A and B are shown apart, each in its own frame.
Chain A
């Protein structure tokens, strides 16, 4: 009895039961093991591994939520890692039998992950050490070569739910490090110089109040020390601004760094001149302060960028290597080396890397990622198969007809939109400043010089001009931009929208049209509603259908089986045995003899149903027949996310047009036209290229800002073409097509609020621009007279910076609370 308990699907008290390993609800199919419940065999397997190695302390950690191991894992999946040329690319170093790798683990998500990964040495003797970098989601592992191979290590990690992600991009050496230590050095040095120069300037600040009585000798020493301290700030810390300004000027453009670089340069030169000629104490404190604050602002903004990779092309989705059959022997080959004529073996759940000709008899290929079509395509021998499809069902063999880079799917990446460099674009506000602000500052300085020169006071004119250039430095503006953006990026991230960079924020605020993809974006990827229509089935018949559908890997069979098991959870347990003569007809259905009765599941034609006009059905139907008698059909309907209608309405209230673009065949017209307010808003059966063109057409000649929300490779072109391409994903660790932003599927309904918050963000920046203009006018009032006391500069500069940081932080938080809390249930 005890043993039978292990895998029986029990039916009592399961409502609140959660999986001991991953913490997810067990639905009605809990697996009992070691007097604990598990949601699936994967979780149970991880538990037994941990228990065996005495690592159950894992479950005592406060937020332990384990990962279920990858279901598509199979023995030998990582064999390619042992190929010398691949191995050499994935290891950090390898010497004297010790190898170190630094692998990216997308499924790492909580503190217990760190604990388990860092205890990897307890799972296998060959692992000597493991060190996690949580923000980067990487783990550095040292192994002894004689005890464990790289493929073994990857398999070991997969078996406990931490599959390493190894992509072609890594192999090609395109690694980007988020972290730049130089920037922190610069902040430290600038802060040090700023503090100490201000310290020495203190005596000077009080001279307006009363004489400090410092002798000129002391002043000279202080001046010399200030210059000494400001040298590293001028030559090292502010080098970024000069480099960036110089680059822009070389391209005959002006950027925001240009006036900043001008201000820094003028302040420094004038301060040197004043101190050397003993005519004043200079503005070195203000200069170092400006640099210090601006460096902090940039650091803050960079830090709030998400660590998710946005620039994925097809290479990130494709396997690194596939099995090639040569003379009857399987061997691994890097996919870039596949030549036409190679015989490939593609296993279940693996992706077809290149176009080819099918050698196996049949293959069920899931092209949902490429075309958006949710039902798998059945191909038979000698048919052409295209790259990008995932194999569902048994493994297949095919003969490559094209190289990977020349395949149909990868050809999409040759479109122009993928080669344009989008990162260089500047935001409109900043480009406005660049165009007019810099010129205005230049003119104001020159005019005040001319005025003084007219009056015959050249010296004062020179003073006035330089002071204007110093005081008009748009550092406060830069700060308001960086801090507002940094804050908003962080707020968006907390709410499930991950933006690639701050430019996207501004684009988001100008959105006029929103295009939704259907499959995977509007629908839930793994859920479907199943209904049975026809003569009611007895429990025994349900058990038979469940048993037959268990034999097939077709997604519809899986959904039906799950549906029946859910139902059975309430009434009892299936007890069916004796399944015979099972066969599966590609494009037709299943047949088996169960308890002496022939059971058929499948299309209307397959079961002999004549009345069904299959062209008209908007849902997938699976007919059931017992002994040739049709009993009815299961209706499988894709399930839509909640609140779609409200989402579209809220966008429309803001004057944003919404429409839908699908690669799928027309389904659920009634529901969708209600959501989008009319059938003319819906487009079906679009190829990836059609989608790209559709977005381009929407943008039109007026260049209206279009946001595209999609999830698959079939949307990749449209995502790139749109102004804001948002990849929707239910697990942000999953790999999404190249995009400007990644949105958690559950937050799709909040898209209107996100846009509104982005608009509010623009207003905040404009508001803080107003504040900085007030400061600038006050400063300019002194400056044009050529009388800017260092103390005024030293007060104005930090005061404006701090007040702008406070203003933007407070207002953006407040606005976010208003907009997001209302939605936050």
Chain B
């Protein structure tokens, strides 16, 4: 039965990892505005865009 403990531990660790990444993403502001970036990505940049990528704030 020890196999099931290892699997459970691994499963929880992976799921927990995803939870952590999700919380981090929310915290960094990636979910604050879910429309503008989707539009911005379609703009052709004739020259390297120098708008800051910093979203936190």
Contacts and interface: CB of A to CB of B under 8 A. Distances in A.
Interface of A: 57, 61, 111, 114-115, 118, 121, 129-136, 140, 179, 181, 184-185, 188-189, 192, 195-196, 199-200, 215, 217-218, 221-222, 225
B3 to A, nearest CB: 11
Given A134-B33, A135-B36, A192-B19, 9 more contacts: A57-B46, A118-B51, A132-B40, A179-B32, A181-B32, A188-B22, A196-B15, A215-B1, A222-B8
A130 B51 contact: yes
B33 to A, nearest CB: 5
12 contacts: A111-B39, A114-B39, A114-B40, A121-B50, A129-B50, A130-B51, A131-B52, A132-B36, A134-B33, A140-B57, A181-B26, A221-B5
Contact of B35 (A118, A134, A222): A134
A189 B23 CA distance: 9
Contacts of A179: 32
Nearest to B55: A131
B5 A136 contact: no
B26 to A, nearest CB: 5
A130 B54 CA distance: 11
Nearest to A218: B1
A218 B4 contact: yes
Contact of B26 (A188, A199, A221): A188
Contacts of A215: 1
B42 to A, nearest CB: 7
Contacts of B18: 192
Contacts of A195: 15
Contacts, number: 70
Interface string B9-47: 001100110110011001100011111100110111010
A246 to B, nearest CB: 27
B51 A196 contact: no
A338 B30 CA distance: 44
Chain B interface residue bracket vs A:
20 to 34
Nearest to B53: A131
Nearest to A179: B32
Contacts of B34: 135
A642 to B, nearest CB: 33
Contacts of A133: 32-33, 36
A181 B42 contact: no
A292 B23 CA distance: 16
Contacts of A134: 33, 35-36, 39
A129 B51 contact: yes
A135 B33 CA distance: 7
A185 B26 CA distance: 7
A136 B33 CA distance: 8
Contacts of A130: 51
A111 B42 contact: yes
Nearest to A228: B12
A221 B52 CA distance: 49
A30 B11 CA distance: 68
A185 B23 contact: yes
A593 to B, nearest CB: 57
Nearest to A196: B15
B7 to A, nearest CB: 10
Contact of B23 (A61, A136, A188, A196): A188
Contacts of B11: 196, 199
B31 A184 contact: yes
Contacts of B33: 133-136
Contacts of B39: 111, 114, 134
B49 to A, nearest CB: 8
B42 A192 contact: no
Given A114-B36, A118-B51, A129-B51, A192 B4 contact: no
Contacts of B8: 200, 221-222, 225
B19 A131 contact: no
Nearest to A184: B26
A605 B36 CA distance: 59
Nearest to B39: A111
B2 to A, nearest CB: 10
Contacts of A196: 11-12, 15
A82 to B, nearest CB: 25
Contacts of B46: 57
B46 to A, nearest CB: 7
10 nearest A-B pairs in the assembled complex, by CB-CB distance: A134-B36, A111-B39, A192-B19, A133-B33, A188-B22, A134-B35, A184-B26, A129-B52, A135-B35, A132-B36
A199 B16 CA distance: 14
A215 B1 CA distance: 9
Contacts of A217: 1
Nearest to A62: B42
Contacts of B40: 114, 118, 132
Contacts of A121: 50
A306 to B, nearest CB: 14
B40 to A, nearest CB: 6
Contacts of A140: 57
A217 B4 CA distance: 12
Contacts of B44: 57
A196 B39 CA distance: 36
A702 to B, nearest CB: 45
Nearest to A140: B57
B5 to A, nearest CB: 7
Contact of A131 (B27, B31, B51): B51
B20 to A, nearest CB: 10
Contacts of A218: 1, 4
Nearest to A61: B43
Contacts of A225: 8, 12
B37 to A, nearest CB: 9
A130 B51 CA distance: 7
Contacts of A57: 44, 46
Contact of A181 (B5, B15, B27, B35): B27
Nearest to A130: B51
A763 B26 CA distance: 37
A192 B4 CA distance: 20
A192 B15 contact: yes
Contacts of A129: 50-52
Contacts of A192: 15-16, 18-19
Nearest to B32: A179
A189 B27 CA distance: 14
Nearest to B49: A118
A184 B24 CA distance: 11
B44 to A, nearest CB: 8
A304 B38 CA distance: 19
Contact of A189 (B19, B50, B57): B19
A200 B5 CA distance: 11
Contacts of B15: 192, 195-196
A18 to B, nearest CB: 23
Contacts of A135: 33-36
Contact of B19 (A115, A188, A199): A188
B56 to A, nearest CB: 11
B43 to A, nearest CB: 5
B39 to A, nearest CB: 4
Nearest to B12: A196
A61 B4 CA distance: 56
B38 to A, nearest CB: 9
Contacts of B42: 111
Nearest to B34: A135
Contacts of B43: 61, 111, 114-115
B1 to A, nearest CB: 6
B17 to A, nearest CB: 11
